[in-house]
Amino acid sequence: MTTATHTATLTDTSLRSILTVAFFGVALLFAASMAGSETIHNAAHDVRHAAGFPCH
């Protein structure tokens, strides 16, 4: 009988995925907060209030 051990490590692929998602999240928040369209800005503003983030 043999026993195999498995060690979980953070690979380059998962680190790249985390950084990619974080970048797109920040870009989305920036685009929504700086949008020229009143509809997009107001929607983002309402979501910030609903989530409990102060913005005033």
Q: What is the model's pLDDT at position 25?
A: 92
Q: How far apart are the first and last CA of the chain?
A: 65
CA–CA distance from 34 to each of 5, 6, 14, 28 (Å)? 50, 46, 30, 10
Give the separation between CA 47 and CA 53, rounded to whole angstroms: 9
Summarize the confidence of residues 8-31 as an average pLDDT.
84
Question: Quick check: is 35 in a domain?
Answer: yes
Range of the domain at 44: 20-51
Give a yes or no: residue 13 inside a domain. no
User: Do the domain assignments include residue 8?
Assistant: no
The band of 56, judged by pLDDT with boundaries at 50, 70 and 90, is low
**Residue-wise pLDDT tens digits, 21-49:** 999 999 988 877 776 678 777 887 888 88
Query: Domains in the chain: how many in total?
Result: 1
Q: Is the dihedral of CA 9, 15, 17, 22 positive or negative?
A: positive
Domain-embedded: residue 43:
yes
Instruction: Identify whether 40 is part of a domain.
Output: yes
> Does a structural domain hold residue 1?
no
- The predicted model scores a pTM of 0.46
Does the structure show a pLDDT above 70 at 7?
Answer: no
Q: Is residue 15 part of a domain?
A: no
Residue 28 lies in a domain: yes
